[in-house]
């Protein structure tokens, strides 16, 4: 009888540890543009690639280079390029909402940002 319950426990544990993290990560993969404020005449955002690399869209001084998901947080790493200096940085955002077309993030200071998915990376368009 003990073996039976142990067997049931193993089955339940293994099904609860399915590929959910990978499926969750797939939601993030793609090109995301920040929702524009009125009168803003440029687009900016991020591209999140399946291999964990990232790139900035429309931001010459903030260059994202990788990303990860950990405990409902999106973590971005990159380089801030300024007055004759380049500084490595990381950002951590709580994922407030994510679906196929929308991503809402919030940082530790309470600042929220909303992104809309776009099919193409505007940096690559001519």
Question: Residue 19: which pLDDT band, with cuts at 50, 70 and 90?
Answer: very low
Taking the domains of the chain in order of start, what are their residue ranges? 2-124
Fold classification of 2-124 is Lipocalin (2.40.128)
How many other CB atoms sit within 10 Å of the CB of residue 119? Answer: 6
Q: Residue 65 in contact with residue 49, Cβ under 8 Å?
A: no
CA dist., res. 115 & res. 7, Å (int)? 45
The model's pTM is 0.76
Q: Tokens 């193409």 — which residue?
A: 120
pLDDT in tens, 27-80: 999 999 998 776 566 789 999 999 999 999 999 899 999 999 998 999 999 999
């Amino acid at each position: 009888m003990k073996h039976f319950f142990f067997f049931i426990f193993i089955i339940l544990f293994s099904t609860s540890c399915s590929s959910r993290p990978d499926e969750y990560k797939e939601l993030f993969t793609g090109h995301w543009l920040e929702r524009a404020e009125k009168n803003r005449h440029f687009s900016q955002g991020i591209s999140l690639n399946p291999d964990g690399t990232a790139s900035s869209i429309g931001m010459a001084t903030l260059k994202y280079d990788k990303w990860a998901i950990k405990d409902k947080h999106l973590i971005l790493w990159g380089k801030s390029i300024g007055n004759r200096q380049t500084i490595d940085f990381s950002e951590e955002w709580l994922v407030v909402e994510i679906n196929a077309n929308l991503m809402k993030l919030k940082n530790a200071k309470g600042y929220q940002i909303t992104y809309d998915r776009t099919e193409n990376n505007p940096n690559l368009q001519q």
